[in-house]
Chain A
Amino acid sequence: MLSRRLGPLWLGLGLLAALALPWLVYPPVALDIACWALFAVALDLLLGFTGLLSFGHAAFWGSSAYATGLVAIHTGLPFPLAVLAGAVVAMALAVPIGWLSVRRTGIYFAMVTLAFAQTIYFVVNQWGSVTGGENGLQGVPRELGGVDLSDPFVFYYWALPIVLLGIAAAWRIVRSPFGRVLVAIRDNPARVRALGYPVERYEVLAIVLSAGLAGLAGGLFAVGHGFASLQEVYWTTSGKVVIMTVLGGIGTLWGPILGAILLVLLEDQLATAGFDGINLVTGLVFVLVVLLFRRGILGTVRHLLLRRRDRRVPDPEPGVEPASAPAVEPAR
C-alpha cells in the first residue's frame, strides 16, 4: 500500500510543522497549541477509541498543573521531572475516579466525571494555603539545570519533545493489542465481555493512561505560563477539549491536534482583534460542525476519501486512503 510509504512523509510534515510553529505564530500561543493538542489527543484516546465521553478531563489536566507547579516551586526540580510528577498525580487521581465512573455508561458516565471534576475544582479552590485559591499558583519556575528558558520561543523547543512523546505514546497505545480491545469495547462491550475480557478494567486503564497524557499537557501548560489558575480545573476547560476533539474528528488521533490548532488560533485571533464574544464564536463553530460534519473535519475528509475508494472497489486506487488514518477499521 502506498499509504504505508506515505505515512513517514505525513509524519515528517507534521514534525516540520511542529518545529516551525513558533516561527509562524506568537511563541506562547505555539506552546498553548502544543499543550492543548496533547490534551485533545488524550481525550480522543477515551472518547474516540474507548467510546467514553469524559466531561471532567479538566480534573486531570488541572490537578497535574497544580501538582507540577507545587513540585517546581518547592523542590526546584528540572521542569520535565516536575511535569512527570504532575502526570503521575493525575494518573493516581484517575484510578479512583475511573474505577467509580465506569460503572455507568453514556450520558451518566459523562455526568459522573463532571461531578468528580467539580469536586476537584472545589478542593483546589478551598485549599488556599496550598493552591493559592482564587489567586492561583503564581511564580511557577522553569528550571532546567541552569539553562535560560525565560524566552517562550526557547522554552517551546524544550517542551515540544515531551508533547511529541505523549502523542507517540497515544499512537502506540491505539495500535497495540490493548488498543484493539478498547476499540472493540467501544463498538460492542457485550461481545468483548463474552470473549472473556474484563471490560471495566480495560476502561479504567484507558482512563488512567488518558489522564497521564492529559497530565503531561497540563503540567507543561502550567510551567509554560508560570502559573496555574482555577481555570485549569474548571468545567469549561473540560468542555473546550471536548470541542477540540469533536471539531477535529474523534477516533482519528490527528483530528484532535487539528482541532486544538484551529481553536487556539481562533481564540487568539479573536482576542487580539479585541472581540469580546469568543465563546459565542467557538460555540457556533461547534454547533455547525456537529450539525454538518458529524465526524469532525479530519473524520469527514477521511470518510469522503474512503467512500471514493469504495466506489472503485474493483480497482482500488492506492494512496487515496489518508496515511494518517489510524487502524480503527481493521478492528471492526
Chain B
Amino acid sequence: MRRGTIAATVLLAVALTACGRGGPSGGGEGGVSGDKLVLAVLNDQSGIYSQLSGKNSVAAVEMAVEDFKAKYGEDAVTSNVEVITADHQNKPDIANTKAQELYDRQDADLILDVPASSAALAVAAQAKAKKKVYFNIGAATTELTGKQCNKYTFHYAYDTYMLANGTGRTVTEKGGKSWYIVYPDYAFGQDMQKSFTSAIESAGGTVVAADPAPFPNDNFSTFLLKAPTLNPKPAVIGVMQAGGDLVNVVKQYNEFKLRDKGIDLSVGLMFITDIHSLGVDAFAGTTFTDAWYWNFDEQNRAWADKFQARTGTRPSFAHAGNYSAATQYLEAVQRAGTDGSDAVVAALEGHKFNDLFARNGEFRAGDHRMVHDAYLARVKTKAEVGEPWDYEEIVETIPASEAFRPESASLAAGCKLDG
C-alpha cells in the first residue's frame, strides 16, 4: 500500500515535470526582449591575460554603451543597456559553464572578448547551441572562422593568420630565413605554430624546429638553451607565448643573451601592455603585427585619452576592439530594431564600416570574420620614446583585403555557418 502511494507520488511528479517548462524562449519578433540589452564581457580578470584585456575591457564596453546612448538619445532602440562580466580564468570548462549561465540565467544578448583560444572555442559552441550572438575579440585561433565557425559567432580583432602573415612573412623576407618556434601547448599556440610555419615557408624560409611549451609556464630555459645547439642554427627564435608567458620568455631570452649569439627575437602576438610591463629595452627593434595602436592618428589618440582618464592606462588593441565590437553590435540592434539574434546577425553580415578600431572594416558574410586594416609595427628604442606608452612605430599598413585569410580559405578549412 505504502509503496503504491510513493509510486503514485513519483509518477505524479514525473507527469508534472513532463508537462511544465518548454525550451528557452526565443528572441521576440520585434523590439528588444524585456526592453533590455545585456552585454556580457567574459574574460580573464586575474590571470596572465588580465592586463591586456581584463577589467579594462569591461570599462571599454561601458564607454561604448555610454557613447551609443549619447549618440541616439531618445531614438535608441532601448535606453536600458546593461554590462555584466564574468571571469573564465582561461579555462575552457569554466568558460563553457559561464557562457551557458550568461546566456541562460543572466539573459545576456551578447558575449564579448573571451581570450584564450580553447575557452573561445568552448563559448562558440555555447553560442551555437543557445542561438545567441558572440563576438570574439581576445582569442586568435582561426578555428573560429574555420571548422568551428557558426552562425552566431563573429571573430573580431585579429587571428593567427593575420599575425603570421604580417610578422612571419616580413621577418623572413628581410633575411630571417631559418626559424626555431616555441609555442604554448594549447589551441592558440598550435594554431600559431601552423600559421607561422606556412607563412615562413611560403616566403622562402625554413622552420628548423618547433617545440611546445606548457601553458602557463614560468621557466623557458630548456628551449632557450636548445636554440643555439640546433643544426642548422636558427637565425630567429619565434616565441608564440602571450601575456604573462611572453613577458617571462622575453625576460629569459635577454638573460641568456641569445641576441649576442646571433639569434634574433620575433614575437608572434604582442600587446602594448606586454611592452609596458617589461620596458622597451627588452623588445627594442622587434617587429610584430598589431591590430590597432593608440597613437596611430588623432582619432585613436582622442579615444585613448578618454580611456586613460577612466582607467589610468593606455588601451591595448583588445580594449579598443571590445569598444568597437560593442558599438557595432549596438548599431546592428539599432538597425534591426530588435535584439532577436537572427535579425542582428542578418544586420551584421556584409556590413561595411569605419570606426575607432576598424578601418575599412567588413563583417564577411561567408565566414563571419571581421576584416580591417592591420599594422606592421616596430618597437621603439628607449631614445625614440617621446612619452609614456609611446612604444610603437607603425612601419606599414596591411590593407584589410590582405591582412586576413581569404574567405575561400576559411570555407576550405571547413567553415559551414549553418552546419
Tell me if A26 is interfacial: C-beta within 8 Å of chain B: yes
Q: Which of A138, A148, A231 has most B Cβ within 10 Å?
A: A138
Kindly specify which of B64-72, B91-99, B388-396 makes contact with the partner chain. B91-99
How long is the Cα–Cα vector from A91 to B254 in the complex, in angstroms? 50
Which B residues are in CB contact (< 8 Å) with A22?
A: 17
How long is the Cα–Cα vector from A225 to B23 in the complex, in angstroms? 17
Verify B9–A12 contact, CB threshold 8 A: yes
Verify B13–A231 contact, CB threshold 8 A: no
Verify B10–A15 contact, CB threshold 8 A: yes
Assuming the contacts A12-B10, A138-B121, A276-B46, asked whether A133 and B96 have C-beta atoms less than 8 A apart, the reply is no
Main SS at interface, chain B:
helix
Verify B91–A229 contact, CB threshold 8 A: yes
Tell me if B21 is interfacial: C-beta within 8 Å of chain A: yes
Verify A150–B23 contact, CB threshold 8 A: yes
Option from A12, A136, A148, A153 in Cβ contact (under 8 Å) with B21:
A153
Tell me if A195 is interfacial: C-beta within 8 Å of chain B: no
Which A29-44 residues have a C-beta within 8 angstroms of B?
none
How long is the Cα–Cα vector from A138 to B6 in the complex, in angstroms? 40
Tell me if B129 is interfacial: C-beta within 8 Å of chain A: yes
Tell me if B122 is interfacial: C-beta within 8 Å of chain A: yes
Which A residues are in CB contact (< 8 Å) with B87?
A: 276
Kindly specify which of B100-108, B352-360, B407-415 makes contact with the partner chain. B100-108
Tell me if B187 is interfacial: C-beta within 8 Å of chain A: yes
How long is the Cα–Cα vector from A128 to B13 in the complex, in angstroms? 44
Tell me if A28 is interfacial: C-beta within 8 Å of chain B: yes
| Minimum CB distance partner of B120 in chain A | A135
Verify A136–B122 contact, CB threshold 8 A: yes
Closest chain A CB from B3 CB (angstroms): 7
Closest chain B CB from A128 CB (angstroms): 8
Tell me if A139 is interfacial: C-beta within 8 Å of chain B: yes
Which A residues are in CB contact (< 8 Å) with B226?
A: none
Which A residues are in CB contact (< 8 Å) with B121?
A: 135, 138
Number of B residues, CB within 8 Å of A: 38
Q: Which of A134, A232, A274 has most B Cβ within 10 Å?
A: A134
The total number of A-B Cβ pairs within 8 Å is: 91
Verify A151–B185 contact, CB threshold 8 A: no
Which A229-270 residues have a C-beta within 8 angstroms of B?
229, 231-232
Verify A138–B91 contact, CB threshold 8 A: no
Which A260-287 residues have a C-beta within 8 angstroms of B?
272, 274, 276
How long is the Cα–Cα vector from A23 to B21 in the complex, in angstroms? 9
Option from B13, B21, B23, B104 in Cβ contact (under 8 Å) with A20:
B13
Tell me if A227 is interfacial: C-beta within 8 Å of chain B: yes
How long is the Cα–Cα vector from A19 to B9 in the complex, in angstroms? 11
Verify A138–B125 contact, CB threshold 8 A: yes
Tell me if A157 is interfacial: C-beta within 8 Å of chain B: yes
Which B residues are in CB contact (< 8 Å) with A229?
A: 91-93, 96
Verify B17–A227 contact, CB threshold 8 A: no
Mask: chain B, 1-17; 1 = CB below 8 Å from A; 0 = not: 01100100110011001
Closest chain A CB from B242 CB (angstroms): 14
Tell me if A319 is interfacial: C-beta within 8 Å of chain B: no
Which A residues are in CB contact (< 8 Å) with B118?
A: 134-136
How long is the Cα–Cα vector from A134 to B217 in the complex, in angstroms? 14
A-B contact pairs, 7 of them (CB 8 A): A12-B9, A19-B13, A136-B93, A136-B118, A227-B125, A229-B92, A274-B86
6 A-B pairs with least C-beta separation:
A134-B186, A229-B93, A12-B6, A135-B118, A19-B13, A231-B93
**B residues whose Cβ falls under 8 Å from a Cβ of A:** 2-3, 6, 9-10, 13-14, 17-18, 20-24, 46, 86-87, 91-93, 96-97, 100-101, 104-105, 117-118, 121-122, 125, 129, 148, 185-187, 190, 215
